Amino acid sequence: MINYDAPVTPEKALGKDVIPPQEFGDGVYAVHALSNAPVNGEILPPASQDFTEKLASWRPTVHWALGGVVPAHTELDWDERELAVVTPVKHLLPQLVNINPYDSFSLGSVSLTENFFLLHPANKPVAAGTGGSIKVPYPEGLSLSEAVAQFIAARNGLTSKFTPGSSTGVEPVTAVTADETKAYKDFNSLDQFKFLLDRLDYLSYGSHLESVKGWAFRFGVIDQALISLGGILETSKIKSWSYPEDRIKIALIKHHLIVLTQSIQRSTMRESAKTDFAQMTKKLQEMINILDENVEKKSQPSEKTAADLQLFTEIEYIFEGMTKTELQFFVRSNPTLFNEQLIRLLLDKA
């Protein structure tokens, strides 16, 4: 049980402008934008979908912004969607594996109870299938982000002033009270979430690819490694693989899956989230099996060698977040994929 009535955190006295725990529980809202209404009263993570060899991605998580709709970045604009599920973030904590104003994510499916609100355009009623969530229509002419901000403010919640165009998740965020009399400029900081991280053994703080604290970055590394492998799950594209770069990525996927499985099994998170994760890892294992089979079919490795500096620059990003000790264990566990020169480059980077 999280004590939201705890005294103001010591960091406040050190000049950190963070939301006190007693304002956090009912003041911070999580927001998930949707293109389509939920089915069977649940929000399902992408990895719950049926596996196909052309779907080179694995996300067993549902992603949320805190205090509003996350700003558009790269080619994604969430204001193009018309629906949003909004809830005080405290209701997600039993299955929340990462907390960050730009990108918090929960593990497994999310059941929509009476603690969740489904915002939709007033002229587009939402059909059945939304569980116990409370439907909240918003006026025509409002963007989704405007509707969400107005809804949170009306409930005396804190709205987020995001850095426009943020794509890394580390840019500053200021949380503002409904009456705009208080502004907490260090909302996106480790100090802000320390009181939660100290109590929840499964919670991380950071981005999808690099956790400042915790192990949630492993979800992002697995997903990015699969995406970077492109269409190579398709047997017809085996000859386009880069060797040994792709062998390293496959080994890394296996490594992070083992660590995630062990960490989740011994954590205190919600049991239903653990069950969902176990089911979705079966689909990831299908992908891994196909990758392993196709590697054996590959007849001609490329001319690249493990000593190639270019190879290092192409793979170093997927090792972000690993400690030097863990990275050393990984490379020593895969001696056929690394030589001493590449090991030194990686360990110097860690």
- Give residue-wise pLDDT tens across range 1-59: 455 444 434 344 344 699 999 899 899 999 999 998 998 999 999 888 765 555 567 89
Residues 55/57/63/68 CA torsion (nearest 10 deg): -70
pTM: 0.87
How far apart, in Å, are the Cα atoms of 137 and each of 3, 29, 77, 140, 142? 33, 18, 21, 9, 11
pLDDT of residue 322: 86
State whether the Cα torsion 341-221-289-310 is positive or negative. Answer: negative
pLDDT of residue 13: 37
User: What's the mean pLDDT when you consider all of the chain?
Assistant: 84
Neighbours of 168 (CB within 10 A): 13
pLDDT of residue 332: 83
State the maximum Cα–Cα separation within the chain, in Å, rounded to a whole number. 67
pLDDT of residue 226: 85
Q: Are 141 and 98 in contact (CB under 8 A)?
A: no
Structure tokens at 161: 């002033």
Beta bridge partners of 61: 107
pLDDT of residue 268: 95
Cis-peptide into 244, omega within 30 deg: yes
Instruction: Determine the Cα angle at 196 with ends 191 and 198, to 5°.
Output: 85
State whether the Cα torsion 244-286-49-203 is positive or negative. Answer: negative
Strands 42-43 and 61-66: unpaired
Helix (H, G, I), strand (E, B) or coil at 280: helix
**pLDDT single digits (tens) 131-151:** 889 999 999 999 999 999 999
Per cent of the chain over pLDDT 70 is: 83
Residue 214 Rama label (left phi>0; alpha psi -120 to 50; beta): left
pLDDT of residue 235: 52
Query: Which residues in the chain land under pLDDT 70?
Result: 1-16, 50-56, 167, 230-243, 295-310, 350
Distance between CA atoms of 121 and 123, rounded to whole angstroms? Answer: 5
